[in-house]
Amino acid sequence: MIKQQSAFHSVQRLCRAFSLSSSGYYRWVKCPVGKRQREDQELSEDIKRIFKKSRSTYGSPRMQRALREEGKWHGKMRLRRLMKKLNLKPKAARRFKVTTDSQHNKPVAPNILGQQFTPPAANVAWAADITYIWTDEGWLYLATVIDLYSRRIIGWSMGTRLLTTLVSDALTMALQQRRPLQGVIHHSDRGSQYCSDVYQALLSKNGFICSMSGR
């Protein structure tokens, strides 16, 4: 109303009539409440997007850094206020999850590959490994087989349980894709999945040379 009536009366007189300070009015003119609310709404969408991408782990400091990487500069107090309003509470970091059990009585193969991770051609040396991924529904295990010549993943398998079939399925996929000649070096760690009778039989059947290293 003050803004509308300022065409007919002085701002100081109008502010006195409404028991407001003229400095407060001019601050509002510079940044109306509606504009600030719209900015908060847009920023809230950015915060929710980045928070989801971080798997619910970012607090206001890392949120501020992530926004700065996008060219958006905001204070920590404002981010903290909006995150609290959105009920976005960062989760504590999860403990490291072990994927390899080397404490078993199965026979292990010598480290034939050594540190020669750059073979001269494809299908000379493959490397197998297991990693894990956190999802909203729990841990997901990923077994891969990589051709060390190209560093290309040639076989993979995912599962919610750390079983021998996980690594067997990954190797089977690699065999189907490459159909290599016998004598390929198969390198892995000494985990129970790779030392199992089932997996070793699969290696033997397809003429692999088994190579293992420690952790």
Report d(CA 163, CA 169) in Å as an integer.
10
Give Cα separations from 75 to 68, 147, 205 (angstroms): 10, 47, 62
| pLDDT tens track for 147-201 | 999 999 999 999 988 888 999 999 999 999 999 999 999 999 998 899 999 999 9
Buried b (16+ CB within 10 A) or exposed e, 39-52: eeeebeebbeebbe
Joined tokens for residue 178: 């490459």
Report d(CA 143, CA 157) in Å as an integer.
5
Report d(CA 112, CA 77) in Å as an integer.
57
Q: What residues does each domain of the chain span?
A: 2-85, 125-212
pLDDT at 33: 66
pLDDT at 81: 93
Across the chain, what does the average pLDDT equal? 87
Report d(CA 180, CA 148) in Å as an integer.
14
pLDDT at 93: 52
Q: Which fold, 125-212?
A: Nucleotidyltransferase; domain 5 (3.30.420)
Band of pLDDT at residue 136, cut at 50, 70 and 90: low
- Taking residues 126-140, report their average pLDDT: 84
Identify the bridge partners of residue 130 per DSSP, sorted by sequence position: 143
